[in-house]
């Protein structure tokens, strides 16, 4: 089973700043089958990024993903108030399709 470790656990920033979230895999993720989801309190997750770097439909271009093999990054430029949420990475290249433990992005 591929274990995904996200860092930091909590990130405190202000609107307008940039955010960098990390997701590290215990083994290489095949074909960059890595996705990022955003979850707000009391809501279902929302797909942001798939294939490590492809934005899902309707996702603003301030969200970008990068990385390969075992190291992946979600970057949010110019944080908006609605961006403060919990972010999860997921690998879907090797069953079971595991999630990271999440990074909480909170307002400083």
Which residues contribute to the site for other proteins (CB under 8 A)? Answer: 1, 33, 35, 37, 39, 44-47, 50, 56-57, 88, 90, 92, 95-102
Please report how close the Cβ of residue 102 comes to other proteins at its closest, in angstroms: 5
Please report how close the Cβ of residue 77 comes to other proteins at its closest, in angstroms: 23
Please report how close the Cβ of residue 62 comes to other proteins at its closest, in angstroms: 20
For other proteins, the closer CB: 14 or 41: 41
Please report how close the Cβ of residue 61 comes to other proteins at its closest, in angstroms: 18
For other proteins, the closer CB: 20 or 101: 101
Beta bridge partners of 44: none
Strands 10-13 and 19-25 come out as: unpaired
Residues 79-86: contacts with CB under 8 Å, at least 24 apart: 79/13, 79/14, 79/15, 79/16, 79/17, 79/18, 79/19, 79/105, 80/15, 81/15, 81/107, 83/19, 83/38, 85/38, 85/39, 85/40, 85/41, 86/38, 86/39, 86/40
For other proteins, the closer CB: 17 or 82: 82
For other proteins, the closer CB: 19 or 34: 34
């Amino acid at each position: 089973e591929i274990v995904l470790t996200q860092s930091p656990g909590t990130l405190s920033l202000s609107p307008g700043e940039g955010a960098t979230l990390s997701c590290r895999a215990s083994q290489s993720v095949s074909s960059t089958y890595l996705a990022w989801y955003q979850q707000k309190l009391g809501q279902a997750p929302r797909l942001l990024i798939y294939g490590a770097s492809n934005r899902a439909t309707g996702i603003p271009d301030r969200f970008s993903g990068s990385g390969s093999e075992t190291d992946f990054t979600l970057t949010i430029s110019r944080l908006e108030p609605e961006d403060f949420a919990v972010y999860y990475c997921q690998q879907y290249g090797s069953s079971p399709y595991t999630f990271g433990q999440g990074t909480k992005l909170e307002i400083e």
